[in-house]
Chain A
């Protein structure tokens, strides 16, 4: 094997000493230089330390791109959630409301990740004009630990710089830093800072839902409905930090009706209790509203409204955007909103 040879007699310890010192010098020196470069280049544009780099990233991963987008001072309103909120267009919302919206949704995320992004946006904006939260079943968890649901980098948004620094020495940061250098040199264009990604783009609609399995509906298993929703309590604490009067709009976007808990089941009863809890939280705030589209409605039974069972199409997004804009404009939301389609 190249690099190894048979012992051909005693080798002085001096030769080994040189070998060891060269190894350690190159390893420690190389890593130190790369680490310093990564920190100075600030690959995710977090603004934690002084940098000579321009603002913006070339990053199509929404879990990391939100670090840059969420601190961009041109925005004063944000949309949070997971892929169920992704299709709400910040450009259209901005046009409808006169505000400047950024998309901070993170695919696959649950309430814990989304609240981390809310705090990041709040830390970097003094005058927030609107807060849109697209919620789904994950917000109704009873788990007090509010676990993360998907790979997500909490360290990127952590208040502690130490936590951030502990996660920066790696090939991913290095690649991202390289792309930032290419942006600075003009070889690569930064991605759209409003964070919008249209999942319909380049795809042909082909949703053919399977017929739901027949059978009897699940009965209510017990009258003891668990009304503990720790994620909603944690959200309350965040919203309490917003300036009073900041519009907060919580939206439960539609899903194809087969994904809804069976009527009459314990799950359905608890889901209804969760929605009532959200409505009560939001109703106590000025210029705020809760839109519950996550119901068995004609729109939720029409396959043409969906790309797949979970993800609605642009026609639905436009209706939701109009409803959000209405609340921001001061209209009160109708209590039981039904989509037109």
Chain B
């Protein structure tokens, strides 16, 4: 079930919220309501994968519990292997086989396993819990809140990636506590903003970018076409994913829960390090805490720093998809972060405008690599952007690109909206309701496009 579908917005969500508040007085009852709703939500795509999801959650909890009982760490390592093996099998097996085939030159069979939606997100959350148990940085939770921490449907499919200690304690809070209407009101505003960004802007940008990237797979694009494709995809990716996050945070607020921040207007970044503090923050934090620092971080000399950065970013790339273009995108950002780090060590800061321009150009080139189906397409696209096929053509649909740029730069992020607040007048409430209503009518036109990050 997609957030931006009529079934979700008009039936599932109102029913889930109503059931939750009917059960609000009992912590157990309201948690069961959320677990049931989350299982229905997940099973809507493919009920078979509920077994995998519940199995991974149950096994991880049981192994953590066993480790605590016997006072040994091996069950925790077993849990890590289990989650990594699940991810490797369902997401990376065919990629590994194809890579091995290219290496040894022998035809290998393919598994053709269907990718369970959200597996990267829920596996990472379970891994983070098990690692925290190894670090003695997490308690053993009762099974129900533990399961709910992973299952909670607002973040289940595409994050934000939540750490156990950010969410589990919130399950004990009374949803009817003071500030109820503020939380619901803010949730509705965030949901509406995300809904509108996805349906009215991001999906329109997809209509601009997709055919051009498709063409680039087998022909040269003009200079104008190539820049249109790169810009349209860059804005689409941000608006699509931040829209999802805003809807997720908004929905969680309807249940009185606060999810972590994921974006902070990343296209205003003036350096690449700044960009990674603003882009997919929950993933950046995860990569930092569970990969980059364990690999040595920046405090063990330049060689270790370069190694840790490149490996962490390559894995970050691979997390996004089973393909070498994703790895290359990660390494590209790794190299950029190393360069940025070295430049900042010189203590000769660039003017903000120059820093912004260089960062955006760097990010844009990365997105071409990220979006292209293969290296040939990416090379064709980047060469066309550099004028290799001439300087012809012009930007298409400049109006849409300008609107996307304005929204990306000016619209407050989810947490900025939570920290500020809408002007509480009937006119503003009506305006948001009309916007939400229009989005409901728009998505009723036909099959909605899924969020890009559902693939990861």
Contact = CB atoms under 8 A, between A and B. Distances in A.
Interface of A: 1, 3-7, 11, 13-20, 22-27, 30-31, 34, 151, 167-174
A290 B432 CA distance: 60
Interface string B405-445: 00000111000110111111010111111101110111111
A17 B181 contact: yes
A27 B426 contact: no
B441 A6 contact: no
A171 B428 contact: no
A7 B426 CA distance: 18
B181 to A, nearest CB: 4
A125 B125 CA distance: 60
B372 interface: no
Nearest to A153: B446
B71 interface: no
Contacts of B184: 16, 20
Interface of B: 6, 10, 178-182, 184-185, 188, 410-412, 416-417, 419-424, 426, 428-434, 436-438, 440-446
A26 B422 contact: no
A19 B424 contact: yes
Nearest to B180: A13
Contacts of A18: 424, 426, 429
30 contacts: A4-B416, A4-B417, A4-B421, A4-B423, A5-B421, A6-B420, A7-B419, A7-B421, A13-B181, A16-B182, A16-B424, A19-B428, A20-B181, A22-B430, A22-B433, A23-B429, A23-B432, A23-B436, A25-B433, A26-B433, A26-B437, A27-B433, A30-B433, A30-B434, A30-B437, A151-B446, A170-B442, A171-B438, A171-B442, A172-B444
Contacts of A173: 444
Contacts of B426: 18-19, 22
A167 to B, nearest CB: 7
A62 B98 CA distance: 46
A161 B422 CA distance: 41
Contacts of A151: 446
A30 B430 CA distance: 10
Going nearest first, the 10 A-B pairs with the smallest beta carbon separation are A170-B444, A26-B433, A16-B181, A22-B429, A27-B433, A17-B181, A16-B182, A15-B424, A23-B429, A16-B185
Contacts of B444: 167-173
Given A5-B420, A27-B436, A169 B180 contact: no
B274 to A, nearest CB: 21
Given A4-B412, A4-B417, A16-B184, 9 more contacts: A13-B182, A16-B181, A16-B424, A17-B181, A19-B428, A23-B429, A26-B430, A169-B441, A173-B444
A6 B420 CA distance: 4
Given A4-B417, A30-B434, A19 B429 contact: yes
A1 B445 CA distance: 30
Contacts of B431: 3
B442 A31 contact: no
A170 B180 CA distance: 32
